[in-house]
Amino acid sequence: MTNTVEQQATDALRVLSIDAVQRANSGHPGMPMGMADIASVLWSRFLVVDPNDPTWIDRDRFVLSNGHGSMLLYSLLHFSGFPLTMDDIKAFRQFGSVTAGHPEHDPGLGIEMTTGPLGQGFATGIGMAIAEAHLRSVLGSDLVDHRIYGFVSDGDLMEGVTAEAASLAGHLGLGKVTYLYDDNHITIDGTTDLAFTEDVAARFDSYGWHTVAVDGHDREAIAAAIAEANEDARPSLVLCRTHIGFGSPNKQDTSASHGSPLGDDEIALVRAAFDWDLPPFEIPTEVYGFYRDAMQRGGDARAAWTQRCDAADADRKNQLEAFFDAPDLHLGIPHHDAGSAVATRVLSGEVLQEVAGSLPGLIGGSGDLTPSNNSRIETSGDFTASDRTGRNVRFGIREHAMGSIVNGITLHGGLRGYGATFLTFSDYMRPAVRLGALMGTPSIWVWTHDSVFLGEDGPTHQPVEHLAALRSIPGLRVIRPADPTEVTVAWEMAIGHVDGPTALILGRQGLPVPHEAIDRDLVARGGYVRKHGDDAVLIATGSEVPLAEQAAELLGDRGHSIRVVSMPSVEVFLAQDEDYRTMVLGDGLPTATIEAGVTFGWERFSGRTGLRIGIDRFGTSAPASVIAEEWGFTPVAVADRVATWLGIS
């Protein structure tokens, strides 16, 4: 066996990782072999975490952005005493196992963020750094003072989201970020110079980062570089020149070691190279002792932090609890005269102020559309390099990074992040939105200008397919409200929903304020009867709700009883019990739907014979009133279509 405990502990990361990949006959052995020296240094000398309390508030956060190398993280967690067993390791990538190929997020196991989509972890870690800086500025460094470490790869640095996030991190001077770059010169296609020849250090220098380059297999040089980075006031990128598949006689420095098991014969050669004579999955007790002794650093830090919390005065304790306890909000409904017209984006901006007053951990901003999105917390300043207390984050025109950063703010704990832009630009955010839904991250998305009725900007700005596409993401709750009560309840639902993200879909044009009170408890069920009727049902959302009501009135004047159902959230409504759904939709009543977007998805309510009124084409540049006339989104046109469909006069 190798002659020092540290070397043995480092090689154990390599050997256990390649054995698990081989057993699964699936995985990525090259990265764990190449980054093992970096990992052992970071975890044994710097990282402050406590396996006995994996979710302790003031722990360091470790992000594995090159998540294809997840076996490296699993090995670290297992050796360090986190609740990950050798049986879990042996079940790597198997059905039902906690050791998935790309685990993403499981803080109880010590997994903060481990991303499959490259670049996402890098950008999400920047959100964690914003959260740390804000909480530290508000609560004090005795209660919040930790770092965000991350491993990143060539692939991470090629992805555009990384450029967006790195630019913002440098602008904000987020000095608690230290990322270690696995500069191994290899991708799946071959050597990186096939497509990637830029000067990475110069690029990050230009962003305002601190950079330092080291031999990624020289542990003392790595330790010195991390220590240097941690003393710098800027975010840091440590460029570690490594060899993918380190120690493999035939596959080191080749793409063959990236995403396929090494094979039994090659593993035997690796074992010989490392003088490792134990069978698969047998680890020396000294290795466990090495990592678990190192973890005592985190245990001691947590104990000291607990003492500081206990010694804090009642006001500070209450302040800390206010950040980390989920509130049950009951918001006031903005007052607007019945019959007056007000846009749901305006209503959302009004409700946001009350939410921010009740929820000190609410923080976020817009992708350079703050006045249009009505997304500013008026009682707070901006979060800047010189003032971390601000709750308004100026994301700039960086929608993709905004999505990832908001996820990071929320994943960090203590804060609820929100991000805002036009609905059509949610396309730029979709990878982060999907990943947040997959992880169950309760980020909040504020998407305005929700239909073709934004008018003259034309089809590039007019979302038509977006609602259907977003509703197709499992775990994403989409809410498209129509009036002051629905907007208020939508925000309550978003704050109260802690198991996944919520999208608030808001309009630009003014909508009439109802004369009659709306039952907020029914709104919270996702769909409810807005106008009673027995001949047919017309389901609508958002700006089409008053249109449906007006069309129903016209049909009523002709002697037909049309029920109008407002359905601000399809997902929430479908989660209700069958009796409630039948009560709202009726039993076998002819059903039509109306929404200013593609009709895809509404067949689940209308069936094969129902009517779906929508826009199954791209928009056009014209005033909203002209679009409504030309495309049949007027009360008369809707009433006529419904009458024709029902075969009535």
Helices (H), 173-245: 200-207, 219-231
Domain count, the chain: 3
Residue range 422-438: mean pLDDT, rounded? 98
Place of tokens 């098991």: 261
Q: What is the pLDDT of residue 301?
A: 98
Q: What is the pLDDT of residue 1?
A: 58
Range of the domain at 559: 526-646
Q: 608 falls in which pLDDT band (50, 70, 90)? A: confident
- The helix-helix angle for 314-324 and 120-139 (nearest 10°) equals 160
Q: What is the pLDDT of residue 350?
A: 98
Quick check: 336 pLDDT over 90?
Answer: yes
Instruction: Return the SS3 of 381.
Output: coil
Instruction: Return the SS3 of 592.
Output: strand
In a domain, 86, yes or no: yes
- Report d(CA 462, CA 422) in Å as an integer: 9
| Total H helices, total E strands in the chain | 25, 21
Digit-coded pLDDT (tens) for 495-520 = 999 999 999 999 999 999 999 999 99
Rg of the chain over all Cα atoms, to the nearest angstrom: 28
* Strand-by-strand arrangement of the 502-505 sheet: 362-366, 416-422, 444-448, 502-505, 477-479
Residue type at 640? Answer: D
Q: What mean pLDDT is reported for the chain?
A: 97
Residue range 552-575: mean pLDDT, rounded? 97
Task: Copy the structure tokens of residue 456.
Answer: 């003259």
Residue range 513-529: mean pLDDT, rounded? 97
In a domain, 581, yes or no: yes
Residue range 611-625: mean pLDDT, rounded? 97
Last residue within a domain, chosen from 302, 328, 353: 302
- 95-129: b or e for each residue (b if 16 or more CB lie within 10 Å)? eebbbbbbbbbbeebbbbbbbbbbbbbbbbbbbbb
Quick check: 649 pLDDT over 90?
Answer: no
Digit-coded pLDDT (tens) for 159-168 = 999 999 999 9
**CB under 8 A, 24+ apart: contacts of 625-629:** 627/452, 627/453, 627/455, 628/453
| Active-site annotation holds for 399 | yes
Residue range 425-433: mean pLDDT, rounded? 98
Task: Copy the structure tokens of residue 204.
Answer: 């990050």
Place of tokens 């040089």: 221
Digit-coded pLDDT (tens) for 443-500 = 999 999 999 999 999 999 999 999 999 999 999 999 999 999 999 999 999 999 999 9
Quick check: 324 pLDDT over 90?
Answer: no
Digit-coded pLDDT (tens) for 236-254 = 999 999 999 999 999 999 9
- Report d(CA 58, CA 77) in Å as an integer: 18
Tell me the CATH number at 129: 3.40.50.970
Residue range 508-535: mean pLDDT, rounded? 97
446 and 577 part of one domain: no
Quick check: 2 pLDDT over 70?
Answer: no
84 contacts 77 by C-beta, under 8 angstroms: yes
Q: What is the pLDDT of residue 250?
A: 98
In a domain, 317, yes or no: no
Return the ∠ at Cα 485 (arms to 484 and 486), rounded to 5°.
95
499 and 534 part of one domain: no
545 and 418 part of one domain: no
Catalytic residue among 112, 159, 350, 399: 399
Digit-coded pLDDT (tens) for 180-218 = 999 999 999 999 999 999 999 999 999 999 999 999 999
In a domain, 330, yes or no: no
Give the Å distances, CA to CA, from 474 to 434, 440, 477, 485, 576.
8, 10, 8, 26, 17
